[in-house]
Amino acid sequence: MSIDKQTLQKIAHLARLEMKEEDTDKMLNDMNQMLAFVEKLKEVDTTGVEPLVTMSHEINALREDENKPHLNREKALANAPKKDAQYFRVPKVLE
Amino acid sequence: MLKAYATFAQIQHDLHSKKITCTALVKHYLANIESKKHLNVFLSVYADEALARAAVIDEKINRGNAGKLAGLVVGLKDVLCYENHPLQASSKILDGFVSQFNATAVQRLLDADAIIIGRQNCDEFAMGSSNENSAFGPTLNDIDNTRVPGGSSGGSAVAVMADMCQVSLGSDTGGSVRQPAAFCGIVGLKPTYSRISRHGLIAYGSSFDCIGIFSKNIEDAALVLEVIAGADEYDSTVSQTPVPAFSSLLSAASEKKYRIAYMRDTLQSPALQPEIKTAIEKSLDQLKLDGHSVAGIEFPLNEYVLPTYYILATAEASSNLSRYDGVRYGYRSPNTTDLESMYKKTRAEGFGKEVQRRILLGTYVLSASYYDAYYNQAQKVRRLIREKLKELLKEYDFIITPTTPTTAFKLGEHSTNPVEMYLADLFSVQANVAGLPAISLPLGTDKIGLPMGVQVMADDFEETKLFHFSKQLMNLA
Q: Which pLDDT band holds residue B453 (cuts at 50, 70, 90)?
A: very high
pLDDT at B461: 98
pLDDT at A2: 83
pLDDT at B174: 97
pLDDT exceeds 80 at position A61: no
Amino acid B353 reads: K
pLDDT at B349: 97
pLDDT at B22: 98
List beta partners, residue B224.
Answer: none
Residue B304: alpha-carbon gap to chain centroid: 23
Per-residue pLDDT reduced to its tens digit, B205-244: 999 999 999 999 999 999 999 999 999 999 989 999 999 9
DSSP state of A82: S
- Please give the share of chain B, as a percent, with pLDDT higher than 90: 93
Q: Report the C-alpha gap between B314 and B198 in whole angstroms.
A: 19
pLDDT at B2: 81
Higher pLDDT, B336 or B74: B74
Per-residue pLDDT reduced to its tens digit, B144-203: 999 999 999 999 999 999 999 999 999 999 999 999 999 999 999 999 999 999 999 999
Q: Which pLDDT band holds residue B471 (cuts at 50, 70, 90)?
A: very high
Based on the number of CB atoms within 10 Å of its own CB, is B68 exposed (0-12), middle (13-18) or buried (19 or more)?
middle
Closest by Cβ to A15, choosing from B193, B304, B363: B363
pLDDT at B310: 95
Region B357-365: what's the mean pLDDT?
Answer: 97
Peptide bond into B152 cis (omega under 30): yes
Query: Is the full-model pTM beyond 0.95?
Result: yes
Per-residue pLDDT reduced to its tens digit, B239-267: 999 999 999 999 887 789 999 999 999 99
Higher pLDDT, B2 or B196: B196
Domain segments of chain B as ranges = 8-251
Mutate to test the interface with A, among B361, B366, B385, B414 (most CBs of A within 10 A): B361
Other C-beta atoms closer than 10 Å to the C-beta of B334 total 10
Region B323-339: what's the mean pLDDT?
Answer: 95
Instruction: Name which of A63-77, B77-91, B227-241 the model is least confident about.
Output: A63-77
| B342 in Cβ contact with A91 (< 8 Å) | yes
Region B427-449: what's the mean pLDDT?
Answer: 97
pLDDT exceeds 70 at position B477: no
pLDDT at A64: 86
Q: Does B377 touch chain A (CB under 8 A)?
A: yes
User: Any idea which residues of B carry the catalytic annotation?
Assistant: 77, 152, 176
Q: Which CATH superfamily is domain B8-251 in?
A: Amidase signature (AS) domain (3.90.1300.10)
Per-residue pLDDT reduced to its tens digit, B5-57: 999 999 999 999 999 999 999 999 999 999 999 999 999 999 999 999 999 99
pLDDT at B424: 86
Closest CA to B259 of B100, B467, B458, B80: B458
Q: Report the C-alpha gap between B160 and B55 in whole angstroms.
A: 23
| Alpha-helix residue ranges (DSSP H) falling in B290-442 | 302-320, 339-350, 353-366, 377-395, 418-422, 429-434
Q: Report the C-alpha gap between B393 and B375 in whole angstroms.
A: 27
Q: Does B328 touch chain A (CB under 8 A)?
A: yes
Other C-beta atoms closer than 10 Å to the C-beta of A9 total 14
Per-residue pLDDT reduced to its tens digit, B415-432: 888 888 888 899 999 999
pLDDT exceeds 80 at position A69: no
Q: Which residues of A touch B419 (CB under 8 A)?
A: 33-34, 37
Instruction: Name which of A10-14, B93-97, B250-254 the model is least confident about.
Output: B250-254
Average per-residue pLDDT in chain B?
96
Distance from CA of A13 to the nearest CA of B (A): 8
Q: Which pLDDT band holds residue B293 (cuts at 50, 70, 90)?
A: very high
Q: Do A17 and B356 touch (CB under 8 A)?
A: yes
pLDDT exceeds 90 at position A94: no
DSSP state of B345: H
pLDDT exceeds 70 at position B317: yes
pLDDT exceeds 70 at position B1: no
Residues 6 or more apart in contact with residue B375 via CB below 8 angstroms: B311, B312, B315, B365, B366
Q: Do A18 and B194 touch (CB under 8 A)?
A: no
Closest by Cβ to B303, choosing from A40, A56, A93: A40
Region B464-475: what's the mean pLDDT?
Answer: 96
Q: Which residues of A touch B364 (CB under 8 A)?
A: 3, 7, 11, 31, 35
pLDDT at B421: 86
